[in-house]
């Protein structure tokens, strides 16, 4: 095969890969549109990643403060979008901002004693949900984040991997091990074999 023909095939292949990447990662196109002044594109990014960010924050802070922090995360992302070096890592970058904002929330709060959730909810279904949420939060960050994204936000393992930048295998392992630990903490079922 002549060199020119080979170079042309390589160029065609590399262009096909670039097109495929954009199709697989729609956020890349949206980020470029935002950088070019399209504010509606950022709204689409918000829709794509809001549940992931909500899950990351909910894994760390009280439910009443989550929505404010989620909004703060997206505002920070919008203001600092030009600092993102690799657009394909947008989800992981956003998750990092969310983790940092949650940590900042704790640093800026004065320590207070909170009423037990069961007192505020009157020992009803909300109390059970609060107990489960406390048990999830007691797990390591890797487990609590993926469990909340799956159980609370309703994201699939594939969506979690795509949004956070984690490998699908890591998400599956985190979900499996996290569920086993959660069952143990809640005293549900025995060891599975």
Q: How many Å apart are CA 185 and CA 98, to the nearest integer?
A: 26
Kindly indicate whether the domain formed by 117-193 is annotated with CATH number 1.10.10.10: yes
Q: Sketch the domain layout of the chain as residue ranges.
A: 1-109, 117-193
pTM higher than the cut 0.85: no
- Alpha helices in the chain, H assignment, sequence order: 3-24, 26-35, 39-58, 63-79, 90-108, 117-121, 125-137, 141-151, 157-164, 168-186
Residue 10 confidence (pLDDT): 45
Q: Residue 131's pLDDT is what?
A: 87
> Which has the higher per-residue pLDDT, 84 or 188?
84
Catalogue the long-range contacts made by 101-105 (C-beta closer than 8 Å, 24 or more residues apart). Answer: 101/57, 101/69, 101/72, 101/73, 101/76, 102/56, 102/57, 102/59, 102/60, 102/61, 102/69, 103/60, 105/60, 105/61, 105/65, 105/69
CATH number of 1-109: 1.10.1740.10
């Amino acid at each position: 095969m002549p060199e020119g023909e080979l170079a042309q095939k390589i160029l065609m292949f590399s262009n096909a890969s670039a097109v495929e990447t954009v199709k697989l990662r729609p956020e890349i196109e949206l980020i470029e549109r935002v950088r070019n002044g399209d504010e509606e594109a950022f709204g689409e990014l918000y829709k794509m990643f809001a549940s992931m960010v909500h899950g990351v924050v909910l894994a760390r802070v009280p439910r009443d403060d989550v929505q404010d922090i989620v909004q703060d995360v997206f505002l920070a992302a919008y203001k600092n979008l030009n600092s993102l070096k690799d657009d394909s890592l947008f989800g992981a970058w956003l998750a990092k901002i969310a983790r940092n904002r949650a940590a900042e929330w704790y640093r800026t709060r004065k320590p207070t004693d909170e009423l037990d959730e069961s007192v505020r909810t009157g020992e009803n279904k909300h109390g059970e949900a609060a107990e489960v949420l406390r048990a999830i939060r007691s797990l390591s960050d890797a487990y609590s984040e993926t469990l909340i994204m799956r159980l609370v936000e309703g994201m699939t393992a594939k969506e979690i991997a795509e949004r956070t930048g984690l490998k699908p295998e890591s998400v599956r392992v985190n979900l499996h091990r996290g569920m086993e630990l959660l069952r143990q903490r809640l005293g549900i079922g025995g060891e599975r074999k």
